[in-house]
Amino acid sequence: MTQPTQPLPQQPQTPIPASVRGAYDLSQAQAAAPSPEPAAEPSWRFDVETPEDFQKYVQLSQQGAVIFALWAEHSPASKETLEILERTINTAGGNLLLAAVDIVKLPEIGQAFQIQGVPAAIAVIAGQPAPMFNSQVGEEQILQLLQQVLQLSAQHQLPGGFEPHGGEAEKPLPPLHQKAVDAIDAGDFAGARDAYTQALNENPGDRDAKIGLAQVGLLERVGDLSLADARAAAAANPTDVQAAFNVADLDVTGGHVEDAFNRLITLFKAVDAEQKNTVRERLLELFDVVGSDDPRVKKARADLMMAIF
């Protein structure tokens, strides 16, 4: 990631109106659409991988409504909501475009939209954000909201006509990586850890397996944590290493990456030599989760080096 995401222009967020005339009828299109064949049907879902992608899709909202769906791997509800959005938007024939954002990888986009958690969706229409929802909603409600988005697009006289994916087959994952991904999808974190560990044993230089192992570890650790309880415990004892680890893990999964890094670097400075090594190892693991090219990781690495020396 080469630069931070630029926020949307400061404009009032436009609530989606209850009714606007002259729009494409999504409900009829959905009823008429044949049962989807995932391997063959075109898709108007695009994953936002970089801040530049974000800016590109915001610009595309001058052509038609772009639905930014915020999700995270640790949130089954957000993954289910994303699937419903994709399935429904694909029936709109290019009148809508879905931009999927993993807020663990790109938390600044959630901040730009002032979203605190997932699932969430924001329509951007002619450069203006129109909040849709910030909690799990049903398929019928999603259909109604998207119909309203189309009505608002018609009011702005946007032409639509987005092109779907070209249909090129994705490069398959190595077998052990695919096994790990399937295990994560099934909630089997132990199985995913074993698969990534085996991949590393066979190829110690497998960077993706190392990152995957760190991500699985994070998902395992936050599974039973309460954010309120974790923050209270850390506030009661600022040098409690485990309490600080819990809050930092939750902050990373919630997109507050800088807060997590700053907390652990402050802790590193305060604890004894043996605990310093433990804190440093956890920081390095979280660096892997976020990504070595992320500017927040680069800054935190520099701050850690300064704290060491």
What does the pLDDT average to over 64-77? 93
Q: How far apart are CA 12 and CA 128, in angstroms?
A: 8
Asked if residue 148 has pLDDT above 50, the reply is: yes
Least-confidence region, from 7-11, 118-122, 126-130: 7-11
pTM of the model: 0.49
Amino acid identity, residue 26? L
- What average pLDDT does the chain have? 83
**218: DSSP letter:** H
| Nearest alpha-carbon partner for 252 in 49, 52, 73, 51 | 73
Yes or no: say if 212 and 180 are a contact pair by the CB < 8 Å rule. Answer: yes
User: Which two structure tokens, joined as six digits, stand for 101?
Assistant: 């954002």
Burial of 222 (0-12, 13-18, 19+ CB in 10 A): middle
Q: How far apart are CA 144 and CA 18, in angstroms?
A: 9
* Domains of the chain, earliest start first: 26-155 (3.40.30.10), 175-308 (1.25.40)
User: Which two structure tokens, joined as six digits, stand for 172?
Assistant: 């398959």
User: Which two structure tokens, joined as six digits, stand for 112?
Assistant: 């730009």
User: Which residue is it, tokens 């049962």?
Assistant: 35
- Residue 18's pLDDT is 38
Q: Which residues of 240-249 are buried (b: 16+ CB within 10 A; e: fewer)?
A: ebebbbbbbb
